[in-house]
């Protein structure tokens, strides 16, 4: 492991320098990695591993025709590299449990019944293990229980792999039956194309992940965008002006500068007026949202958030209600304005 200073705190990380792909291939040489679920993370991790020379098979319910056909379109062959869930578990030695959190609870009896002594049960999220009282997912003692959690969507995992950048992932070993759990975990982390790997625990991963998704990464981001857009519109600003000042400049300019060089560099390289306002109002926003984040973290840690996820996502009309909620966002003036703005980007005008 390499020791890296993160803001004054030294942490251990693993890169391809400390654990090269050739070493990962050697560790996984005799393994059959069964990727269960071909929805979000499954395709990205499976395709990256396949491209890296790892023996991968897919486990997917044939009844779910959308994902079964998606797997076939990506080159997985029924009866050879594409199987029903139970058969994939039987054939695999490393079982990547990458179906949704709600589906993990539902499918667990089938998965558990087909695990073999010495298998590795792999997760990309601590949800099912940490909230076992809600999910019922308690692995048998005769398997390794490991995790590699990419810090991005499946789309980003695949895209970053293809452009050579990789995406950062956390990793953890929850149960080491074989004595090889750690090397299996690190090998898989490299094989799926991680930029670098940093250690965590199943509990810390799920607490931070659920807080991040509901907070800055998605929930908070959408909420503050809507609040600013609505305030501008209330004072007579046009939809295009309101959207550009709320979303477009952030996503097409400023956030890229933050990604490349950090917030301080972005502040130092904007106008003096923007700089002064950002420095002053930053503290007001932090103080305003701090109580919300405190409530959010408590809701995650107590299991309230996971209870909601399992209850809502397991309802028979879940997809219908989800589509309705997403349609409300899609049909809002703000995101209709966004669609128009995106069409006016130079790269999109050239396609016409």
Question: How many Cα atoms are found within 13 Å in the side-chain-facing hemisphere of 323?
Answer: 4
Could you tell me the two tokens for 188?
């898989």
**Are 198 and 171 a contacting pair, CB within 8 Å?**
yes
Instruction: Please calculate the CA angle 261-265-259 and round it to the nearest 5 degrees.
Output: 30
- Shared domain for 120 and 252, answered yes or no, is no
CA distance 313 to 102: 6
In a domain, 207, yes or no: no
Q: Please list, in sequence order, all residues whose beta carbon lies within 8 angstroms of the beta carbon of residue 166, skipping any fewer than 6 positions away.
A: 160, 193, 194, 195, 196
Beta bridge partners of 34: 57, 95
Whole-number pLDDT of residue 7:
83
Distance CA 246, CA 105 (A): 39
**pLDDT value at position 149?**
95
pLDDT at 352: 57
231 shares a domain with 193: no
Q: Are residues 224 and 181 in the same domain?
A: no
Active site residues: 125
CA distance 67 to 78: 13
C-alpha dihedral (41, 46, 52, 57), degrees to nearest 10: 160
Query: Residue 344 belongs to what domain range?
Result: 212-351
The verdict on 21 and 44 lying in the same domain is: yes
pLDDT one-digit tens code per residue, 147-158: 999 998 899 999
Same domain, 307 and 166: no
Question: Three-state DSSP class for 14?
Answer: strand
As given in the structure block, the two tokens for residue 52 are: 């890296």
Note whether 144 and 173 are within 8 A (CB): yes
Query: Are 96 and 53 in a shared domain?
Result: yes
Number of domains the chain contains? 2
pLDDT of residue 40: 85
Run means of pLDDT, 10 residues per run, the chain, 352 residues:
85 89 96 95 96 97 93 97 97 97 94 98 96 96 97 92 92 97 97 93 96 96 97 97 95 92 92 93 96 97 95 91 95 95 82 62
Q: Are residues 140 and 16 in the same domain?
A: yes
**What is the spatial distance between Cα 314 and Cα 218, in angstroms, rounded to a whole number?**
22
> Does 230 lie in the same domain as 301?
yes
Asked if residues 148 and 122 have their Cβ atoms less than 8 Å apart, the reply is yes
Q: Spell out the alpha helix ranges (H) of the chain.
A: 21-27, 41-51, 65-73, 85-91, 101-113, 127-130, 132-135, 154-162, 181-191, 202-214, 219-234, 239-243, 249, 255-261, 263-268, 272-301, 304-313, 318-330, 333-343, 346-351
Instruction: Classify the phi-psi angles of 136: left when phi > 0, otherwise alpha if psi is within -120 to 50, otherwise beta.
Output: left
With beta carbons less than 8 A apart as the criterion, state whether 154 and 169 touch. Answer: no
The reply to whether 206 falls in a domain is no
Task: Tell me the CATH number at 238.
Answer: 1.10.1040.10
At residue 133, the pLDDT reads 95
Strands 144-150 and 82-83: unpaired
Nearest to 167 by CA among 189, 188, 145: 189
Model confidence pLDDT, tens digit, residues 90-145: 999 999 999 999 899 999 999 999 999 999 999 999 999 999 999 999 999 999 99
Residue 150 maps to which CATH number? 3.40.50.720
Q: Are residues 90 and 32 in the same domain?
A: yes
Both 157 and 272 in one domain: the answer is no
Beta-carbon contacts of 53 under 8 Å, excluding residues fewer than 6 positions away, are 25
What three-state secondary structure class fits 20? coil
What's the predicted TM-score (pTM) here?
0.90
Give the closest residue to 13 by CA, choosing from 194, 166, 153: 194
Q: Is residue 285 part of a domain?
A: yes
Helix (H) / strand (E) containing 117: none
Question: Per the structure block, which two tokens stand in for 251?
Answer: 């996503």
H or E element: which one contains 174?
strand 167-175
């Amino acid at each position: 492991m390499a020791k890296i200073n993160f803001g004054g705190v030294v942490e251990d990380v693993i890169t391809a320098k400390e654990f090269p792909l050739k070493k990962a291939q050697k560790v996984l040489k005799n393994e059959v990695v069964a990727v269960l679920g071909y929805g979000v993370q499954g395709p990205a991790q499976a395709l990256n591993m396949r491209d890296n020379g790892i023996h991968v098979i897919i486990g997917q319910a044939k009844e779910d025709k959308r994902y079964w056909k998606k797997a076939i379109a990506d080159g997985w062959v029924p009866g050879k590299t594409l199987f029903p869930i139970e058969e994939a578990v039987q054939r695999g030695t490393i079982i990547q449990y990458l179906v949704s959190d709600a589906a993990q609870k539902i499918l667990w009896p089938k998965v558990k019944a087909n695990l073999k002594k010495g298998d590795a049960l792999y997760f990309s999220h601590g949800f099912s293990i940490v909230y076992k009282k809600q999910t019922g997912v308690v692995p048998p003692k005769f398997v390794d229980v490991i995790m590699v959690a990419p810090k991005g969507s499946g789309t980003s995992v695949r895209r970053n792999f293809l452009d050579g950048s990789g995406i950062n992932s956390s990793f953890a070993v929850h149960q080491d039956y074989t004595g090889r759990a750690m090397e299996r975990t690190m090998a898989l982390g490299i094989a799926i194309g991680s930029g670098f790997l940093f250690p965590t625990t199943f509990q810390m991963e799920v607490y931070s992940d659920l807080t991040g998704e509901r907070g800055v990464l998605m929930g908070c981001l959408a909420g503050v965008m809507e609040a600013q857009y609505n305030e501008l519109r209330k004072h007579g600003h046009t939809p295009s002006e309101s959207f550009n000042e709320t979303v477009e400049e952030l996503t097409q300019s400023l956030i890229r500068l933050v990604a490349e060089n950090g917030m301080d560099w972005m502040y130092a390289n904007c106008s003096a007026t923007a700089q002064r306002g950002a420095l002053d109002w930053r503290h007001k926003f932090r103080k305003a949202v701090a109580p919300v984040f405190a409530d959010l973290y408590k809701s995650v840690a107590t299991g309230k958030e996971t209870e909601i996820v399992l209850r809502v996502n397991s309802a028979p009309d879940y997809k219908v209600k989800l589509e309705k909620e997403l349609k409300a966002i899609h049909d809002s003036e703000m995101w209709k304005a966004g669609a128009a703005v995106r069409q006016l980007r130079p790269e999109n005008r050239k396609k016409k």
